[in-house]
Amino acid sequence: MIYLLIFGCTIEVSVLDTGCCCVTGEEDSAPDTDTNTDTSSDSPCTDFEAPAANDDVSIVSDCVSEPAPITFSPEVEWVWAPTDSEHLYNHVLVTPMIGPLSDSNGDGLIDAKDSPNVVFTAYENPQGTRHEGALVILDGTTGSEQAYYTSITDSNGTTYQPPSRGGIALGDIDADGIPEICLPTLTAPLICLHHDGTVVLVGDSPSGAIDVLELQEGFPTIGDMDGDGMAEIAIGRVIWDHTGTIVGEGEYSHGGWVRPGHSLGEWWEGNSVMYDMDGDGHLELVAGNVVYERDGSPLWLNEDVENGYSAVADIDLDGDPDVVTSGMGWAYIMDGGSGALLADFELYGCDHNLVPSWGVPSGCGSPTIADFDADGEPEIGIAGDTHYTVYDNSTGNWIALWSNEIQDHSSGRTGASVFDFEADGEAEVVFSDENALHVWTGSIGADRLGAANFDAQDQNSGTAVEFPSLADVDGDGSTEILLASNHLLESGGWFGVRCIGSGTGPEWAGSRPVWNQHTYHITNVGDDLSIPTTVSPNYQSYNNFRTQDQGTRPANWLPDVIVSNVEYCANCEIDKATFYVVVDNQGLDEATGVDMVISDALVGELIRETVSLQPQESQLLGPYLVDINDWMDAITVYVDIDNSEEECDENNNFWEVGTVICD
């Protein structure tokens, strides 16, 4: 042992500590002049400076566990389905949106560390569309209801009613760290509000001829179109800034459904995409057969192409984005920069002359783009009335890679989402029709739910343009499916929203905690629902659309937390000592809620603080004031003392300080 005399006291320090002056764990290190000094009146050493956290934590590259095999064995994890007596509006005909909206962990921030919320509009059965509804906010972990708004009142006392099936978009539109929920209402074309109901935006009404259901049953999309740090919000061909002022109003297509001859107008469900189509670093608005600039003027218009639902990806692999639009039984692929038609093909099971049960042509659903068969090239998935089909161009012609029978005569325009649940390199397609939830393999369309003996035949929906959303809604590292259900078409079976996941079985592959809008494409939003000022183009990294990210960390990555430095100063004249502790995470995964403890071998625990560390993060903890009278024996500083986190090394979680003996 080494004995040091400091301020009239003798300190016995283990040989693991090699320092001088107020004892430090770093040999020959000079104090950091930029760090704060503890100058509190009861500090034993007024000139004792805090050490710095490490700015270069080395990563242990093999910090992994043995990967557990992933089995696709779905279970219903929670259900939101209040009875009619509990809630008048309890049926759901829209895609549930997902993201953190409140500071659930109490750290003063709303970010990816908070529990995600699930948000949607609900309607009263059997009224269905074009009526009032409710805005519902759930806790993603439990499905418990956090808010149920049948009306929303702004600061002027004006009240707005959510529509029965208005679309939702989530995002921090004003960059204040508090995400907003944006949706149309029965009176105002757009409102955005916080989780607690505080209205932050009421959108101006458009001046042009906009069909009522183009907005009222439309789907907002959010993005920073001009790169000023504040978001724009669009529904169809109308664009608002973050204050609610209309900055652009297009005169051509709206990117949604066309219903000829209807008394409320022919254009329904505005559903446009914000994407940088010309490579100028700013987002444009894609709407069927037209791309608008922020001011509503067209970048290009292709009048030979039908209006319809769009997606964006690099389809021809030329290094630039392309537009895929499905409309009136056909799919169109257009060059993103010019609008030139690259290809068109008729859609299977989607006859635009077919009249579904309520007397209108279907038009087909919104495209989903992914590498379904893992051949390195994008395929296109589109639903019709009778079949869901994945189209492939490997032969030089767009033909069916596979096609599965479905039942969707109620709308014929539902969508789908894609994710690789087993992280085996083959994505699955998640789709819901009138009477079943389907999960198919991307390469051949094999039935995954049937193989897993999961009976989803109680699913019931009158269908519109909804699809199941995919995200890690409960923060367990495993992706879940959010499914909307209703009795619009017929009674019986499921209604409300269900969270379907791995349940008690092996965890599925991890993903992000967000799916923020109908036109979700990963890079359009941060995990904390921040809206990027400059968007990294999806086609350059993922080249997909309406597909969930596999997540940034494989399920078998582990943290490795250590105590990397302890510095203290003891003053026996006042029987006090000040401690600083530096803790690092040199593992590959986040360490959440681990405890740092300063402990005396005889007395026991003296100090405890809980800390969370991202990979390669270092944190300075302290200062901690310790009474030397409690310092009876050798002191040891621990991190993760309770082994609350599985780590790749459980034997490097302590730092032996030694003893202090006052004369």
For residue 663, pLDDT beyond 70:
no
Tell me, yes or no, whether 140 lies in a domain.
yes
The pLDDT tens digits of the residues spanning 473-511 come to: 998 888 999 999 999 888 888 999 999 998 887 788 889
- Range ranked top by mean pLDDT from 309-323, 403-417, 444-458: 309-323
C-beta of residue 93 within 8 angstroms of C-beta of residue 467: no
| Residue among 119, 112, 95, 240 at smallest CA distance from 174 | 240
Band of the pLDDT at 517, cuts 50, 70, 90? very high
CA distance 278 to 284: 8
C-beta of residue 256 within 8 angstroms of C-beta of residue 218: yes
Q: How far is CA 201 from CA 111, 134, 152, 642, in A?
A: 22, 18, 12, 47
Token code pair at residue 541: 């990294």
Tell me, yes or no, whether 32 lies in a domain.
no
pLDDT of 532 reads: 97
Residue with the two structure tokens 């005169």: 251
pLDDT of 601 reads: 86
**Same domain, residue pair 101 and 214:** yes
pLDDT of 267 reads: 65
Tell me, yes or no, whether 29 lies in a domain.
no
Q: What is the average per-residue pLDDT within 356-381?
A: 81
C-beta of residue 661 within 8 angstroms of C-beta of residue 10: yes
DSSP per-residue letters across 69-123: PP----EEEEEE---TTT-S--B--SPPEEE--S-TT-SS--STTSPPEEEEEEE
Element (H, E) at 582: strand 576-585
Q: Which amino acid belongs to residue 192?
A: C
**Same domain, residue pair 413 and 523:** yes
pLDDT of 39 reads: 35
Report strand pairing: 561-571 vs 97-99. Answer: unpaired
**Same domain, residue pair 479 and 598:** no
**Same domain, residue pair 582 and 478:** no
Label residues 267-285 b or e (16+ Cβ within 10 Å = b): bbbbbbbbbbbbeeebbbb
pLDDT of 602 reads: 85
How many domains is the chain partitioned into structurally?
Answer: 2
pLDDT of 17 reads: 34
- Give residue 618's domain range: 561-657
pLDDT of 461 reads: 85
Tell me, yes or no, whether 235 lies in a domain.
yes
**Same domain, residue pair 537 and 568:** no
% of the chain beyond a pLDDT of 90: 60
**Residue 493 belongs to domain with CATH number:** 2.130.10.10
**Same domain, residue pair 379 and 486:** yes
Band of the pLDDT at 263, cuts 50, 70, 90? low
Calculate the average pLDDT of the chain. 86
**Same domain, residue pair 332 and 451:** yes
pLDDT of 44 reads: 62
C-beta of residue 226 within 8 angstroms of C-beta of residue 187: no
Band of the pLDDT at 46, cuts 50, 70, 90? low
For residue 7, pLDDT beyond 60:
no
For residue 264, pLDDT beyond 70:
no
**Same domain, residue pair 510 and 590:** no
CA distance 129 to 127: 6
Tell me, yes or no, whether 62 lies in a domain.
no
% of the chain beyond a pLDDT of 70: 87
**Same domain, residue pair 412 and 280:** yes
Domain boundary among 496, 514, 542: 542
C-beta of residue 481 within 8 angstroms of C-beta of residue 473: no
The pLDDT tens digits of the residues spanning 414-445 come to: 889 999 998 888 889 999 988 889 999 999 99
For residue 293, pLDDT beyond 90:
yes
Tell me, yes or no, whether 7 lies in a domain.
no
**Same domain, residue pair 503 and 584:** no
| Residue among 257, 551, 544 at smallest CA distance from 429 | 544
pLDDT of 23 reads: 47
pLDDT of 128 reads: 62
**Residue 611 belongs to domain with CATH number:** 2.60.40.10
pLDDT of 16 reads: 30
C-beta of residue 589 within 8 angstroms of C-beta of residue 6: no
Q: How far is CA 317 from CA 55, 267, 393, in A?
A: 40, 33, 12
Report the sign of the C-alpha dihedral through residues 100, 102, 107, 109, in that order.
positive
pTM for this prediction = 0.78
For residue 234, pLDDT beyond 70:
yes
Label residues 418-456 b or e (16+ Cβ within 10 Å = b): bbbbbbeebbbbbbbbbbbbbbbbbbebeebbeeeebeb
**Same domain, residue pair 342 and 475:** yes
**Same domain, residue pair 238 and 137:** yes
Which neighbouring-strand residues pair with 469? 482
For residue 526, pLDDT beyond 80:
yes
Token code pair at residue 646: 């599985």
Tell me, yes or no, whether 27 lies in a domain.
no
Band of the pLDDT at 588, cuts 50, 70, 90? confident
DSSP 8-state code for residue 539: H
Tell me, yes or no, whether 65 lies in a domain.
no
pLDDT of 29 reads: 32
Which neighbouring-strand residues pair with 330? 327, 346
The pLDDT tens digits of the residues spanning 622-650 come to: 999 888 877 778 899 999 988 888 999 99
Cis peptide preceding 367, ω within 30 of 0: no
CA distance 143 to 120: 13
pLDDT of 97 reads: 98
Q: 3-state class of 127 per DSSP?
A: coil
For residue 205, pLDDT beyond 60:
yes
pLDDT of 213 reads: 76
Least confident segment among 169-173, 354-358, 590-594? 354-358
